[in-house]
Amino acid sequence: MEFTFWDILRNLLLAARWTLGLSLAGFVCGSSIGLLLLLARISPRKPIRLGAVFYIELFQGTPLLLQLFLVFFGLPLIGLDVQPWMAAGLGLTLWASAYLGEIWRGCVEAIHVSQWDAAAALGLHRAYQFRLVILPQAARIAVAPTVGFLVQLIKATALTSIIGFSELLKTSNVITNATFAPFTVYGVVALIYFAICFPLTRYSKYIERILTVG
Amino acid sequence: MTSCLLPRRGLAAVLLSGAIAALGWTTARADALSDIQKAGVLKAGVFEDFPPFASAGSDMSLHGYDIDVANALATTLGVKLALVGVTGQNRIPYLNEHKVDILLSVGWSTEREKVIDFTAAYAPYYIAVLGPHALAVPDAAAMAGKTIGVNRGTLEDTSLTKAAPPTADIKRFDNYNGVISAFLAGQVQLIAVGNDVGASVLARHPSIEPEQKFQLMSSPDHIALNKNEPAFKKTLDDVITKMKADGSLNKISLQWLQKPLDPKDL
Amino acid sequence: MAGFDPNWVVEGAEALANGVAMTVWLIAVTILFGGALSVIGAAARRSRLAWCRGLASGYVELIRNTPFIVQLFFVFFGLPSLGLRLNATVAAILAMTINVSAYGTEIVRAGLDAVAPGQREAGRALGLRGLIIFLFIVLPQALRAVFPALASQMVITMLDSAVVSQIAVRDLTYEADLIQSHTFLSFQTYALVTAIYLGLSILLRRVLGLAGRAVLGPGIS
């Protein structure tokens, strides 16, 4: 069965669904943990703060590829049966949570301390200061860099092919093997990633522009 | 800030890995054959980039010698077949962790015998060194100073490492696709693969005109299964014997290897 | 399942040392060429010529919106079809340089934008030519402003370089792959190598900070 160019394109586009699915899962789960990390990072209690710093430094200071290997080879050691999609999802979630937590911390710290003071002067408990006054303002600044990170996450899913998750890049390796046409196949793969990421990048820049001026 | 955290981080990493390594119990399982029949599906680990044994068609379904044999096994057992893509590196761990029930295209070695069981051979497989027509490589010694690609963790890797002179530059890739693509792109001068895989590459007439230079060893393909499964092993062996006897294995050989099955190859 | 066996650490030590050397070599060359290319790219992005701006902008968007591993595979496996065959190490350095420069271009451009126009005017008032003004007055100030971001990008690129093991470059990750394929102690090997990368990233940040202070003066973090 010979591959036509249309076969190559069609199969790659179908595989791109898995890339998008994994990206979404990683983003949603990573955001949940990232939020907790943010709260820990700005916590007045030193051990909690340091724990968050430790976590962030660990995941930002080591290669994502090795983090994926550690999850993939590590979980079976504690008796869990790990499928590639689980290791891919968990690995990307932990990695994303560290970056999102740090990005959001930057946004929260960009809010001037007078906002916290004013909220405290109104008699609000610290948790409410955060939720009612700081968070809405920080969230506004956070949209652009968060969307920018989503682009990084989508590109990062390509590494999960190495631990055997069948997304766009792994499928392209199989097709390259069947067609002996790496220039065409990897070229099309690059274009598909570009088609997914570029609109998000533009959107992020657009948000940054209107939320900074307005 | 970062420097005072470093000793803590390093220590944590070492302690964590030590603790995790010290654990590692396995859950008890019932007999494989009855498990498979109860589940109604046979999970077979195959390569996805390994023509003519297993490679993808334009609809991305796998076809090849191994696929046909796996189908015959599943039919005999009366279950569905689920193909799982594996790499040379992860396939034995996959089998031991029961992510798959059997592996195809497994060559025998004493190290492997310690961790897995083998059925009778079902396909011939000669590990050979391939190179472009223009490059003269009559034997192992001639590999000196040349680059050779091989799939890491396979018997090709082991036999090549043993046979290659010290100045040979062995480049190990994660999967067969990397090996073959690197060879066709001229990134490695030679590769060590099965001679039929090489024939498959040659059949597409790439411009470098690859040919077999010399053979490293004969390593017929067996099916691998977990140890201590006598009923399962017997069932698999019976199917292979039957396929040899009734000519169906010979038909598969003719289709994918373009030659009849010779018993002395197995 | 074997326990934590220290022997494999000793056996693999030499292999890992070679891997570290290769990883360091790759990022050192990349920083050199990548730094230069970033400055050129930033200048191109701010050029008066529309085609120059467009070309640089197109390059930045293309590289920043595609994964590094795809760029690497394209250079190593794909370019030979066009007759351009680069060996694995050169291909890795080329891919890493092209990749880091796309991000570096944007970072340096932000730095250049932050330098007050008055600086250029003052330079011209002193009778200096454009290139001299750029290299000795504007660029140092721009780099001082964005140095932390630039250094971070270099560290990120070093961590991304783990992927070049896929094209059989004998970097730290490649050696780890090799060791664990023999010892079957996958988790332990990768845990050790992860710790080494962590050490390298801290070290690289320190070295870049020192270099920055040496070249650009005090105040670089």
Cross-chain residue pair B18–C81, CB shorter than 8 Å: no
Helix H segments across A42-83?
46-60, 64-74
Q: How far B174 CA sits from the closest chain C CA (Å)?
A: 7
Q: How far C133 CA sits from the closest chain A CA (Å)?
A: 31
Handedness of CA C13, C169, B92, A11 (dihedral sign): positive
Residue B34 CB neighbour total at 10 angstroms: 11
Q: Which of A83-97, B95-109, C32-46 has the lowest mean pLDDT?
A: B95-109
Residue segments in chain C with a per-residue pLDDT below the cut of 70: 1-9, 220-221
A199 near C CB under 8 A? no
Residue A207 lies in domain: 7-213
Cross-chain residue pair A73–C61, CB shorter than 8 Å: no
Cross-chain residue pair C195–B186, CB shorter than 8 Å: no
Instruction: Name the class of domain B32-125+220-265.
Output: alpha beta
Per-residue pLDDT at B9: 55
Which chains, if any, share at least 3 CB pairs under 8 A with chain B? A, C
Cross-chain residue pair B60–A174, CB shorter than 8 Å: yes
C-alpha–C-alpha distance, residues B38 and B162, integer Å:
44
Q: How far C135 CA sits from the closest chain B CA (Å)?
A: 33
pLDDT digits (tens, 9 = 90+) for B125-148: 999 999 988 888 888 889 999 999
Backbone angles phi, psi at A67, to 5 degrees: -60, -40
Contacts of C181 in chain B (CB under 8 A): 89, 152-153, 157
Per-residue pLDDT at B172: 95
Residue A17, token pair as written in the block: 């669904």
Cross-chain residue pair C65–A187, CB shorter than 8 Å: no
Cis peptide before B52 (omega within 30 of 0): yes
Tell me which of 3.40.630.10, 3.40.50.12240, 2.60.40.1580, 1.10.3720.10 is the CATH number of domain C7-216.
1.10.3720.10
Question: In the predicted model, is pLDDT for residue B25 greater than 60?
Answer: no
- Residues 6 or more apart from C207 whose CB is under 8 A from it? none
C-alpha–C-alpha distance, residues A45 and B54, integer Å:
58
Contact B185/C77 with Cβ under 8 angstroms?
yes
Read off the pLDDT band of B26 (50, 70, 90).
very low
Residue type, B264: K
Is residue B136 exposed (0-12), middle (13-18) or buried (19+ Cβ within 10 Å)?
exposed
Domains B32-125+220-265 and B126-218 share a fold: yes
Read off the pLDDT band of B96 (50, 70, 90).
confident
Q: Which residue has the higher pLDDT, B17 or A125?
A: A125
Q: How many CA atoms lie within 13 A of C150 on its CB side?
A: 31
Contacts of A63 in chain C (CB under 8 A): 159-163, 173, 194, 197
- ipTM for the predicted complex: 0.91
Choose among B49, B35, B40: nearest CA to B197. B49
Whole-prediction pTM:
0.88
Contact B113/B59 with Cβ under 8 angstroms?
no
Instruction: Name the class of domain B126-218.
Output: alpha beta
Per-residue pLDDT at A93: 97
Residue B191, helix vs strand vs coil: strand
Q: Which of A104-108, A186-190, B148-152, B202-206 has the lowest mean pLDDT?
A: B202-206
Alpha-carbon A11 to chain mean position:
25
Contact C129/C202 with Cβ under 8 angstroms?
no
Residue ranges per domain, chain C?
Answer: 7-216
Q: Is A49 domain-assigned?
A: yes
Per-residue pLDDT at A76: 83
Chain B, chain C: beta-carbon pairs less than 8 Å apart? 79
Which chains, if any, share at least 3 CB pairs under 8 A with chain C? A, B
- Percentage of chain B beyond pLDDT 70 is 88
Contacts of A2 in chain B (CB under 8 A): 58
Question: In the predicted model, is pLDDT for residue B113 greater than 70?
Answer: yes
Handedness of CA B23, C190, C166, A157 (dihedral sign): positive
Q: Is A28 domain-assigned?
A: yes
A54 near B CB under 8 A? yes
- Residues 6 or more apart from B107 whose CB is under 8 A from it? B125, B127, B154, B155, B219, B220, B221, B222
Question: In the predicted model, is pLDDT for residue B209 greater than 70?
Answer: yes
- Average of pLDDT values for B104-133? 90
Question: In the predicted model, is pLDDT for residue B15 greater than 80?
Answer: no
A54 near C CB under 8 A? no
Residue ranges per domain, chain B?
Answer: 32-125+220-265, 126-218
Choose among C58, C70, B216: nearest CA to A182. C70
Q: Is A20 domain-assigned?
A: yes
Q: In CATH, what number is assigned to the domain containing residue A16?
A: 1.10.3720.10
DSSP C20-79: HHHHHHHHHHHHHHHHHHHHHHHHHHT-S-HHHHHHHHHHHHHHHTS-HHHHHHIIIIIG
Q: What is the mean pLDDT of chain B?
A: 85
Contact C197/A63 with Cβ under 8 angstroms?
yes
Cross-chain residue pair A169–C61, CB shorter than 8 Å: no
A64 near C CB under 8 A? yes
Per-residue pLDDT at C156: 95
Q: Is A15 domain-assigned?
A: yes
Question: In the predicted model, is pLDDT for residue A213 greater than 90?
Answer: no
- Average of pLDDT values for B2-23? 50
Q: Is A2 domain-assigned?
A: no
A199 near B CB under 8 A? no
User: Into how many domains does chain A fold?
Assistant: 1
Residue A29 CB neighbour total at 10 angstroms: 17
Q: Which residue has the higher pLDDT, C11 or A8?
A: A8
Q: What is the mean pLDDT of chain A?
A: 91
Interface of C to A at Cβ within 8 Å reads: 1, 61-62, 64-71, 73-74, 77-79, 81-82, 155, 159-163, 166, 173, 176, 186-187, 190-191, 193-194, 197-198, 201-202
Q: Pseudo-torsion of CA A113, A115, A116, A121, nearest 10°? A: 130
pLDDT digits (tens, 9 = 90+) for A59-87: 999 999 999 999 998 888 887 877 889 99
A66 near C CB under 8 A? yes
Instruction: Give the nearest chain B residue to A74 (CA atoms).
Output: B20
